[in-house]
Amino acid sequence: MKKMTWLITNCSSDLGRHLAAAVLARGDQLIATARQPEALQALMQRFPETVRVCVLNLTRPEMAQAAVGLAVKAFGGLDVLVNNAGYGMAGAIEEDAPDEYRPVFEVNVFGLIEVTRAALPVLRRRPGGRIVNFSSTTGIAGSVGSGYYVAAKFAVEGLSEALDQEVRPLGLRVIIVEHGPLRTASLGRSVGPARRQIRDYDRTVEHRIYREHNDGKQVGDPAKAVAVILRAVDSAAPPLHLPLGPMDHAATDHKLGSFSEDIDAWRQLAIASDFD
């Protein structure tokens, strides 16, 4: 199998670090990005010849251009882009304020867009490339208490589906990783609670207590998730949608079932809405 060059956003996160290490361990080359590159010192020491570290703040498009430029300068091109960076927000939709929910979209949606746009001209030079966009269970089905994060991941899903149709004829493929709860520090570090809590929403209290009771207890194994992702990237026919874990598959099955029920129940009335 040919040696590939990867660009992974936020390699300082638990999942990003697992993926980065797996990519390098199999002999591939990597542009590892993080807001704080000193967090990647161990990775650089372990793989000095095949990894380059780049500072990347997803709210600054020029940094995305620099990261892609480093891939070209150091390794001659780019084969796989992984949009792994993410930022969460917990709280009822009425509770969260603009300065709390806007960063969710800046990172998860607009940051992903800027990195992807920067990478596409380079990816298009090498047919067979892959764009891996991280979504989650919440990108498939809405869940109480995380509406803005859900909305951001729904945007990632729609953008990725459209992008796949645009680049597939060019020899590129998009993979949407829709993972369930993985045992990482994501709940502790990157999922912030709303500053304000409205008592009327206490009946949907799960979103307030899930973080404190589940951080570090998630059932998903990041190493196993990474192994599946690598197989998908290497596949000649990778899936557009890649749900990971039983919880994600259960959510997908439930969403498809309820969607079909709504459509079937209202089909005859709804399809009669065109001009006669």
| pLDDT value of position 20 | 96
| pLDDT value of position 188 | 45
DSSP 169: G
Placement of tokens 């990478």 in the chain: 119
DSSP notation for 24-74? HHTT-EEEEEESSGGGGHHHHHH-TTTEEEEE--TT-HHHHHHHHHHHHHH
Residues 163 and 133: their CA atoms lie apart, in Å, by 11
SS3 219: coil
| pLDDT value of position 196 | 84
For the chain, 276 residues long, give each residue's pLDDT as a single digit of tens: 689 999 999 998 888 999 999 999 999 999 999 999 888 999 999 999 999 999 999 999 999 999 999 999 999 999 999 999 888 888 889 998 999 999 999 999 999 999 999 999 999 999 899 999 999 888 898 888 889 999 999 999 999 999 999 999 999 999 999 987 665 655 445 566 678 888 888 877 565 555 555 555 566 688 888 999 999 999 999 999 999 988 888 889 999 999 999 999 999 999 999 888
Q: Which two tokens stand for residue 135?
A: 């979504």
CB 120 within 8 A of CB 71: no
Residues 85 and 107: their CA atoms lie apart, in Å, by 7
Topology given in CATH for the domain delimited by 5-247: Rossmann fold (3.40.50)
Placement of tokens 């729609």 in the chain: 158
Q: Model confidence over 118-167: pLDDT tens digits? A: 999 999 999 899 999 999 888 898 888 889 999 999 999 999 999 999 99
| pLDDT value of position 204 | 73
Shortest CA distance to 87 belongs to which of 190, 12, 194? 190
CB atoms closer than 10 angstroms to residue 199: 6
Residues 168 and 175: their CA atoms lie apart, in Å, by 11
| pLDDT value of position 229 | 97
Listed by start position, the domains of the chain span 5-247
- Give the distance from CA 130 to its chain's centroid: 14
Shortest CA distance to 229 belongs to which of 218, 241, 219? 241
One of 148, 149, 201, 210 is an active-site residue; which one?
A: 148
pTM (2 decimals)?
Answer: 0.91
φ, ψ of residue 44 to 5 degrees: the values are -65, -40
| pLDDT value of position 206 | 62
Catalytic residue list contains 148:
yes
SS3 189: helix
Residues 181 and 221: their CA atoms lie apart, in Å, by 9
| pLDDT value of position 119 | 98
| pLDDT value of position 195 | 80
| CB-neighbour burial class of residue 173 (10 A; exposed 0-12, middle 13-18, buried 19+) | buried
- Cβ-defined contacts of 96-100 (< 8 Å, 24+): 96/147, 96/148, 96/194, 97/194, 97/195, 97/196, 100/192, 100/194, 100/195
